[in-house]
């Protein structure tokens, strides 16, 4: 199938750009939707997604944002089901920040946060919130998001089970007021030859509160910065034009991130059960789910910190703390045969 996809992309690229394709590579693996196409003296990204509606949504969003900022790929054109976009660089943020020293990590993290706020500002100028799907609006989605906290019981005393889930659902519910990129994990940003950080993969773009994009970044299990550091960076970068005071914005970010951390932890545990624990190097190379006990422990630290920021979610912080100890014990017992 991959060979057929590559042949399809090659033929479309040569017809669209009017020059021969030298080669095509798959940076994220051949099962991913995007490929790097090498033309004469440049590279472009060809994205062939199974859902053509998402392809056209992504092309539309990139076009509107590119009229105002240069923090995302430019849409070069759509040929059938293939989106051609500019190549924002091969130095992915998840790899760069892992290699950086402490000061370098702080700088990259600050830039990542700042660029998300700038994308949101540009989207407000373009009124994109009214032209993209509104995310997480149905009751079933919200209930699943909140009730997932009960999954922590397998690692803790399960204090989350005693919370007022109905009230928490009401607090999490939010109308589509701010454009979101969605899925702002660090593997979905790259640093170009001009040393600028740009975000890519806008296929799930939509609208909601706005803090969700920061939650995806901070709740990325492979993200190496401490939650307190990230909280302070978001506080410093807060844009009052987003429609929320700094205090309210951080409160909602903390609320949302508490449950987002559970969702990511559930994914990690599920993948570990089916595939076993993976090496951190492999996870970062292929931008895979963080199926390593150290990454799981980090997610628990993130969840604990942000749960403690709101009185209503404080009991979950203890669940996260006990879950963290379980994953740390797993590492010490040598049950995870993954490379460091």
For 101-152, how does the pLDDT look when each residue is reduced to its tens digit (9 = 90+)?
A: 999 999 999 999 999 999 999 999 999 999 999 999 999 999 999 999 999 9
Angle, alpha carbons 90-95-98 (nearest 5°): 155
- Distance, CA of 72 to CA of 179 (rounded, Å): 14
Q: Are 39 and 25 in contact (CB under 8 A)?
A: no
Over pLDDT 70: what percentage of the chain? 97
- Distance, CA of 178 to CA of 210 (rounded, Å): 5
Q: Tell me the mean pLDDT in the region 239-261.
A: 98
Domains annotated for the chain, with CATH where assigned, are: 2-88 (3.30.200.20), 92-332 (3.90.1200)
For 6-65, how does the pLDDT look when each residue is reduced to its tens digit (9 = 90+)?
A: 999 999 999 999 999 999 998 877 677 899 999 988 999 999 988 889 999 999 999 999
Cα 307 to Cα 20, 56, 113, 216, 296: the distances in Å are: 54, 37, 21, 16, 16
- Distance, CA of 161 to CA of 151 (rounded, Å): 9
Angle at which helices 227-237 and 246-275 cross, to 10°: 140
- HSE-CB at 249 with a 13 A cutoff on CA atoms is 22
In this structure, the dihedral spanned by the alpha carbons of residues 187, 5, 276 and 319, taken in order and rounded to 10 degrees, is 40
Higher pLDDT, 332 or 318: 318
pTM to 2 decimals?
0.95
For 262-279, how does the pLDDT look when each residue is reduced to its tens digit (9 = 90+)?
A: 999 999 999 999 999 999
């Amino acid at each position: 199938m991959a060979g057929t996809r590559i042949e399809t992309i090659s033929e479309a690229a040569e017809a669209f750009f009017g020059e021969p394709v030298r080669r095509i590579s798959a940076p994220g693996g051949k099962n991913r939707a995007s490929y790097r196409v090498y033309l004469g003296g440049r590279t472009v990204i060809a994205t062939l997604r199974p859902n053509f509606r998402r392809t056209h949504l992504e092309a539309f969003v990139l076009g509107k944002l590119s009229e105002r900022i240069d923090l995302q790929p430019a849409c070069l054109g759509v040929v059938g089901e293939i989106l051609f976009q500019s190549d924002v660089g091969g130095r992915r943020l998840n790899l760069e920040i892992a290699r950086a020293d402490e000061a370098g990590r702080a700088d990259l993290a600050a830039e990542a946060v700042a660029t998300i706020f700038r994308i949101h500002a540009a989207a407000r100028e373009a009124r994109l919130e009214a032209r993209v799907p509104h995310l997480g609006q149905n009751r079933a989605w919200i209930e699943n998001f909140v009730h997932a906290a009960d999954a922590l019981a397998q690692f803790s005393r399960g204090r989350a089970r005693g919370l007022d889930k109905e009230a928490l659902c009401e607090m999490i519910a939010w109308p589509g007021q701010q454009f979101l990129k969605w899925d702002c994990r660090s593997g979905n940003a790259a640093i170009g030859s001009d040393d600028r950080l740009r975000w890519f993969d806008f296929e799930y773009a939509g609208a909601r509160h706005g803090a969700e994009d920061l939650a995806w970044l901070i709740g990325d299990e492979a993200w190496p910065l401490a939650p307190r550091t990230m909280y302070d960076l978001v506080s410093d970068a807060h844009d009052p034009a987003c429609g929320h005071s700094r205090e309210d914005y951080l409160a909602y970010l903390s609320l949302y991130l508490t449950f987002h951390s559970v969702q990511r932890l559930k994914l990690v545990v599920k993948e570990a059960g089916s595939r076993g624990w993976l090496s951190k190097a492999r996870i970062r190379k292929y931008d895979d789910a963080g199926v390593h006990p150290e990454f799981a422990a980090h997610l628990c630290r993130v969840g604990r910190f942000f749960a403690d920021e709101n009185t209503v979610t404080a009991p979950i912080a203890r669940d996260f703390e006990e879950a963290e100890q379980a994953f740390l014990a797993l590492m010490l017992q040598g049950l995870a045969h993954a490379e460091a």
